Amino acid sequence: MNNEIASSVQPGVPASIHTVKMRIALLILALASVIFPAVTVKAMGMFSQGVSLPALAGSIAYLIPVVFATALAAPFTAQLQPYSRVVDLVAAAVGVLFLVWGVWSLVDAYSTMAQQERALSSLIGGSSAFQAPRVSDFGSFTPSIGAFALLATTVLSVLQARKALEKRA
């Protein structure tokens, strides 16, 4: 009977403590990327509180911590163990997707501000009495804690997925 209990507990044990630490770190970083501001906006010389990822992406941003919580639970749950590699790959894909989306949205916002600057300059013309405001006067975006957490989450999840693929081969 003891052998039956030991064999039923054995599959639930993760491969190493390093894997568990990595998955916990990924979950904490995923939560930080959603909770903390992703960018701080400076407009007219004043800093804002910052804009978080859920404010930019909507409620779909909460997919990040859900995916990484599932990745944390995968080694401990017998039903998820066969899909642990797939969960790691999905987590890496979600991290990369949100990182690319975040960079694209910042570049898009900055180019919109630059277009507004050009439109104001052409509207005013060559008048020396009034100088059109520059993009730096409208505002600038500075990466904040959430952006660095998202970057770290993406890099570490890609490394975790790569290790999962190497184990498969």
pLDDT digits (tens, 9 = 90+) for 80-104: 778 888 888 999 999 999 989 888 8
Please choose, from the candidates 10, 11, 21, 12, the residue with its C-alpha nearest in 3D space to the C-alpha of residue 160. 21
Q: pTM score, two decimals?
A: 0.72
pLDDT tens per residue, range 52-78: 888 888 899 999 999 999 888 887 778
Helices (H), 1-83: 2-9, 17-35, 53-57, 63-73
